[in-house]
Amino acid sequence: MMEYAWSKLTPKDALQIWQPKWITELDLRYLTHLYQPFIGQTATILYTTLFYEISPSNYYSEWFRIGDMLAVLNIGMAKFYEAKTRLEGIGLLKTYQLQKEDGNYYKLELIPPVAPDRFFRDPLLSSLLISQIGHQRFAILQRRYSIAKEYDESQEVTANFSDVFVAPFNVTDYQVDHYRNKHLMDSSDAEVPQLVEDTFNWELLYSLLKSQFVSKEFLTEEVKRVILTLHVQYGVSEEDMVPYIMYATDLSTGITDPDELMKLMLNSYEELQKTKKIAQKKSKQQAKKIEKIKNQATVNDIEAFKINLSYSDPAYSLVKVAKKMNCMEFLESIKKQRHGYVAASEQRVLRDLVDLSGLPSEVINILIHYILVVQDNTSLTKNFADAIANDWGQRQLKTAEDAVTVVRTREKEGQIKREQKVKQVTTKRNYQQKPPRIEKLPEWAKHENTAKDTPLADEKVAALKAKIAKLKSSQKEPEEG
């Protein structure tokens, strides 16, 4: 039986909330307008509730039980855990565990939301928001948090420091308390969520750009983040990435404009889909091979898997494909084989898995295969996918092989459980089956009939014959008259 990650939390576990960076009401406004559409209402309410547990004059709260928080939010442990992990995945919460004899203690650090200037420049956060509210609402929020300086032709006449202040003569006597400074609160922005780079080959991209006279030195960290978001969110390969980078690069200087690349990404999702279709047409032979492998990887194959993968193992082909394809392509290939399509809700589920679960793409691909093929579900549903992703994240699965082993073990345990259930039902039926009813004879029927026939006397026989003759004669008299 699968153990869910949230089952390790108990209502008796203690919580304490910290704010290492000072959070203001303005941060809560950013949270509501910019984060809530894609982290969800429950996660947003959890963040604000945790924040208000902190005293206005302090940076941490008193200790309290998880059960108290569940009562305040009116939710169960599974919903609480899901909301907490969504905040962690997006970079708004950090969790530290301390085990003591009387139970578990958790310190939760609230991280302030990213300010609008960084939020709208970040490709991952912007794409998450656009996918939920659309371009029109996104543009409205951009205008709302923009400042337009219209000072006509005026010139700045602001006084500087040296015009007003004179440095004190004893400034050299100031002693810096490094320990105290190290622990002072700051108001810097939160860190944006980090993307996993395991599936992207930067060296290949650099070599492709070099042939186009674009040096890798001009790819700043901001540009690299846009590139990585294109790859993770939309499955753009290194080869397909080159024309987009070229479009956003000034060939005279060789500098790539991250804002232009970001704008291109947000407005060209349909174009990206066309690019992927063209790439699929160029590799028909490979697609047929993948389809054949997919058709072989059925439920029966899962039951036949071995723990150690080998070239003869049916799971080897599945793992090979899971490592090679990005999540969207993998999902589309299974849907195509079933003559279906990837619904918008499934796209959102997949996007959350990629952005928030922390699982590598190859592990998410095995998760998709398990839900759609092994479990024979028609669609990728959020609750089921989140439950499995939380469990696998708790198990710290890093490779497709690890995921296949977990699936195989789960199927084997399920088969044993089903066999035990059938055995119990059969035993219960045999126990409840009633024996045939046997009727008991009454006492008088148990003894044999010992009575003997006794012949009549001659006189009685003669009298009976006389009566019979008289009856016959009386019946004939009316007919004669």
Whole-model pTM over 0.75: no
Instruction: Tell which of 249, 278, 307 closes a domain.
Output: 278
Q: Write down the pLDDT at residue 454.
A: 65
Give the domain extent around 268: 202-278
Of 26-35, 390-399, 423-432, the poorest mean pLDDT is in 423-432
- Residue 39 belongs to some domain of the structure: yes
Same domain, 287 and 406: yes
Question: What percentage of the chain exceeds 90 in pLDDT?
Answer: 18
| pLDDT at position 40 over 90 | yes
Q: Is residue 41 part of a domain?
A: yes
405 and 290 inside one domain: yes
Query: Between 14 and 302, whose confidence is greater?
Result: 14
| Residue 262 in domain | yes
First to last CA, the chain: 106
Segment 45-76, tens digit of pLDDT: 999 999 999 988 888 899 999 999 999 999 88
Whether 104 and 208 share a structural domain: no
Q: Are residues 288 and 220 in the same domain?
A: no
Does some domain include residue 247? yes
Nearest to 334 by CA among 343, 342, 326, 324: 342
Given 248, 278, 308, the domain boundary residue is 278
CATH code: domain of residue 40: 1.10.10
Query: How many structural domains compose the chain?
Result: 3
Same domain, yes or no: 209 and 314: no
The predicted model gives 81-103 an average pLDDT of 90
Specify if 195 maps to a domain.
no
pLDDT in tens, 180-236: 545 555 555 566 666 666 677 888 888 887 776 677 777 888 788 888 877 776 677
Structure confidence by residue, pLDDT tens digits, 314-330: 677 788 888 888 888 88
pLDDT in tens, 354-413: 888 888 889 999 999 989 988 888 889 888 898 899 888 888 888 888 888 888 888 777
Q: Are residues 217 and 305 in the same domain?
A: no
Question: Where among 234, 257, 278 does a domain terminate?
Answer: 278
Statement: residue 302 has pLDDT above 50 = no
How would residue 102 be classed by pLDDT, with cut points 50, 70 and 90? confident
Predicted pLDDT at 312: 44
Q: In the predicted model, is pLDDT for residue 112 greater than 90?
A: yes
How far apart are alpha carbons 291 and 325 in whole angstroms? 13
Statement to judge: residues 53 and 106 lie in one domain:
yes
Structure-token match 């998760």, residue found:
367
291 within domain boundaries: yes
In a domain, 436, yes or no: no
Q: Exposed e or buried b for every residue in 214-253, given b needs 16+ CB within 10 A?
A: beeeebeebbbbbbbbbbbbbbbbbebbbebbeebbeeee
Quick check: is 174 in a domain?
Answer: no
Pairing of strands 255-256, 103-110: unpaired
Same domain for 64 and 15, yes or no, is yes
Helices 269-282 and 238-247, axial angle in degrees (round to 10): 140
